[in-house]
Amino acid sequence: MKKKQLLISVLALATLVGCDNGDSGYPSYYDGDFHGYADLNETDYPRKKSYTSYISTIPATLNSTTTNQENDSSHIVNFIDGLVENDRFGNIVPALATGAPEINEAKDEYTYHIKEGVKWVQYNGEQYKDKTVKPSDFLTAAQYALNFQNSAEGYYLLALIIEGANEYYQATRLNYELKSLPDNIRYTRIGDSMYRQGYADHVLSEDEVSEILQFKKIGIYADDVAMTLKYKLKQRADYFPTMLTYTAYLPVQADFVEEVGFNNYGIDNTHILYCGAYLLSEQDTAGTRMVYKKNPEYWDLDSVKVDTITFYTLPTEISKTFARDKYNAGEIDSFALSEEDKAGWEEYVTGKNGTGTIEEPANPLAFSNFGEGSKSPFIFYLNQSRDTDYRGVYNSSLSKYVKNTSVEAAIENTNKALKYSYFRQAVLDSLDLDVYYYRFSIKNEQIRSQYAINTYTPTNFVFDDNGKDYFEYLVDAYVKKNNVTKEEATTKLEQMNPTASKLSLEESQRRIKEACEQLKKDDPSITFPVYLEYAGIYYDTEQRSNDEFFVEACNEAFNGIIFDENMQVNAELSKVYGYDASDDDVLVRVINNSNIGDATVYTNISDFHAFSLFVSGWIPDFEDPLTFLNTATLNGDMAKHFGTAYTRDVAEENLSAETLAKFDHYDELVKRADAEFEDKSKRYSLFAEAEIYLLQEMGILRPVYMTGLGYQVSVSNIIPYRSPRAGYGSSNDKYKGMELLYSPLTARQRAVLKAEWEYERAESRK
């Protein structure tokens, strides 16, 4: 699932750490006369029934079959339930399913029984035409998601694992591309192309193509009489149930979609049906306000503790004290402390005498929690197929800098250079991320460093059957590939180490120069400098300043050159830093786009091939390393981000032979790992080999940061650890189970609740 970069943080979500239960085996979470959740009785701690928060933008669509944007799915999962969800301990539990699935001996068939009588209701709470959720609703959703013409972003979650799903998707793609041909000729062409492109093991007959296009060869079997839904997988995949919390696997009601029209389905709150905990009862046309109301027909109504949830969109510019001011005014129910809010930091963290710390805040209402991270990394991407028609989406800023050529020609020149992996890798390795992290805190190195990540798959995400973290497999793979000690490998890969992979200025400049010299040999038509236009957060004054600082640092690292405030070579200042610089010395020039006017524009950037260098995020869809590594395969889940959304035959025409060979090798590593399902330790070893190759050889992405790492300080009226949570999928976004007070608990009370939660989670997994 994609997640866009928005660095303005208003609310802090509680993150989790372990606790020592002592030698007795009984939880040591008692603290004076507060013993845990049971003491939060509603007489002494009355519950608040309305919750208010701010969000960056409203959802672009509520169509669960097409979107894989976190900005959309975070709302959708509150309106539509799936077969399963995660409970507050992260365990998979039934939602619309009645219980655990029946699994065949080969472990490639999962049969779920569906709850009877779960009503489909409209935004006003009225049932839609006496309709209830049926197994066929899941089949209908899959058909919409897998039809190429619907441009569903999340189709891959089905195509990846369901028998016949990718074949249907590819057949509908070819059917669309060949739509001008008569049926018999078109079907013949499809049958031949399916074989040639590797989607079939033989040339398909017209009848076989027809059956595929009629959705008759899909491995999903719905029986509305028996109320059963069976999924037939391509191969065994023990992680399959963890995929089912995501939007691609949510049901839709076919009659309603036909009534409103698929193109209108999900355009607003009146154009979807609901079977989840909440209804989107209000959605203003200006896009500034959304209101959830508890679904009166919800099947698990007792678990919905808050009646009304209201979201407002953030203003473009906000003050350092914005969140605290809103909380103090009673307008929101929690906020995260920011060091930039000096008065708030003193009030809650350091105290007036300066004795408090981020680990032990001075104010008893401030809760400090050491988090293991959101498991959703943000990544730098290099796009080697940027659209030269830059006016069609977002205006380029290149016209201010390019000389003796057009903007289109400059973009095409950059694309040609980025076709070569050695050049891309040199660029990514030379990005000055140490400077990038200054946006998190200029003065406090501890805060600044705790966001840093150096692997794609985070630590504490998955473990083998013996409890070994997948991160340890990455360390082993790094040791093997680079012939270093385990200690050295751990330092290079560990989280919260912003300088782990930082190159010296001399090394960065050497690598860029060598890469450019090789480009001159491989493609003499490439001219210099190569312009990398970076999609910075230009609409926000503070972030624009941070981005300009980062861009300048990168240009220095690439070229040994200092630019002035107009981004022109400053020869005099360069000499002060020891560089004898001129325009002719600039080989690779990074510039910040100045035409990104608001958060909505920024959020949608990566849907278009609009920039060469940008940051976007990935939320894991299921509990396996494949959810990360599959994104980087040729035509993988995030292929549009780095400009390789091609089938193998088309890739031969659009990628350099050198880059295509890299993708072929990487794809084979991922396939080999995914084929290993009997021995989890071997599976993880193979995936780790692929991930280290991705990070060091492919030159398409570089992990940057992850929220939720390290110490976070918050003040909140929310009772922690009551809502669904997981390190993957969409359960984290559910407000079901959330309980709200009129004032915050103390840090000591929250610490007790955390320890109690840890104990109960361990018990739930025995």
Phi and psi of 163, rounded to 5°? -60, 130
- Predicted local confidence at residue 393, as pLDDT: 61
How is residue 114 annotated by DSSP?
A: B
| Range in 81-95, 149-163, 378-392 the model is least confident about | 378-392
Least confidently predicted of 129-138, 451-460, 642-651: 642-651
Rounded to the nearest integer, the mean pLDDT of the chain is: 91
Residues 350-356: contacts with CB within 8 Å, 24+ apart?
none
Every domain of the chain and the residues it spans: 2-57+309-374+710-764, 70-283, 378-705
404 has pLDDT over 90: no
What pLDDT is recorded for position 18?
25
How far apart, in whole angstroms, are the C-alpha atoms of residue 337 and residue 323?
9
Name which of 422, 642, 379, 415 is nearest 511 in CA terms: 422
Check whether the bond before 529 is cis (ω within 30° of 0). Answer: yes
Question: What is the enclosing helix (H) or strand (E) of 704?
Answer: strand 701-705
Tell me which fold the domain 378-705 belongs to: Dipeptide-binding Protein; domain 3 (3.10.105)
Can you tell me the distance from the alpha carbon of 452 to that of 698, in angstroms, rounded to the nearest whole number? 21
Where does the pLDDT of residue 31 fall: very low under 50, low under 70, confident under 90, or very high at 90 and above? low
Q: Report the alpha-carbon distance of residue 465 to residue 461 in Å, rounded.
A: 13
709 pLDDT more than 50: yes
**Which run of H or E residues covers position 701?**
strand 701-705
**Taking Cα atoms as reference points, which of 353, 356, 376, 352 lies closest to residue 367?**
356
CATH superfamily of 70-283: Dipeptide-binding Protein; Domain 1 (3.90.76.10)
Segment among 67-76, 144-153, 300-309, 605-614 with least mean pLDDT: 605-614
User: Which pLDDT score, from 0 to 100, does residue 5 have?
Assistant: 39
The conformational region for residue 22 under phi > 0 = left, psi -120 to 50 = alpha, else beta, is left
Q: Is the dihedral of CA 382, 527, 435, 433 positive or negative?
A: positive
Answer whether 106's CB lies under 8 Å from 194's CB: no
**Which residue type sits at 696?**
Q
Lowest-pLDDT range of 6-20, 356-370, 538-552: 6-20
pLDDT > 90: what percent of the chain? 76
- Is the confidence at residue 160, as pLDDT, over 90? yes
Give percent of the chain with pLDDT exceeding 70.
94
Averaged over 17-42, what is the pLDDT? Answer: 60
Residues in the chain: 766
Compute φ and ψ for 617, nearest 5 degrees: -125, 165
CB 531 within 8 A of CB 589: yes
Average pLDDT over residues 462-488: 96
- Examine the pLDDT at 186 and tell me if it is beyond 50: yes
**Most confident stretch, 335-339, 447-451, 576-580, 663-667:** 663-667
- Asked if the model's pLDDT at residue 669 lies above 60, the reply is yes
User: Does residue 226 have a pLDDT over 50?
Assistant: yes
- Does residue 739 surpass a pLDDT of 60? yes
> For helices 421-430 and 505-522, what crossing angle results, to 10°?
160
pLDDT band at 585 (very low <50, low <70, confident <90, very high): confident
Q: Which two tokens stand for residue 184?
A: 């018999």
Please write the tens of the pLDDT for every residue from 478-498.
999 999 999 999 999 999 999
pLDDT value at 412 more than 70: yes
CB 373 within 8 A of CB 495: yes
In eight-state DSSP terms, residue 115 is P
Residue 718 pLDDT? 96
Q: Which of 9-23, 374-388, 392-406, 435-449 has the lowest mean pLDDT?
A: 9-23
Q: Which residue has the higher pLDDT, 392 or 256?
A: 256
Q: What is the pLDDT of residue 677?
A: 92
Q: Which residue has the higher pLDDT, 466 or 444?
A: 466
| Stretch 751-763: mean pLDDT | 93
* Higher-scoring residue by pLDDT: 566, 535: 535
- Is 303 buried (19+), middle (13-18) or exposed (0-12) by CB count in 10 A? middle
Q: Of the spans 113-117, 546-550, 617-621, which averages the highest pLDDT?
A: 113-117
CB-based burial, 70-95: b 16+ in 10 Å, e otherwise: bbbbbbbbbbbbbbbbbbbbbebbbb
Q: Which two tokens stand for residue 500?
A: 């782990």
- Structure token pair of residue 346: 């003193």
Does residue 14 have a pLDDT over 80?
A: no
In this predicted structure, the answer to whether residue 115 has a pLDDT above a threshold of 50 is yes
DSSP run (H or E) holding 309? strand 308-313
DSSP 723: S
Mean pLDDT of 638-654: 89
User: Given this model, what pLDDT does residue 392 score?
Assistant: 60
Measured CA to CA, the distance from residue 115 to residue 137 in angstroms comes to 13
The predicted pLDDT at position 380 comes to 96
For 269-328, write each residue's pLDDT tens digit: 999 999 999 999 999 877 889 999 999 999 999 999 999 999 999 887 788 899 999 999
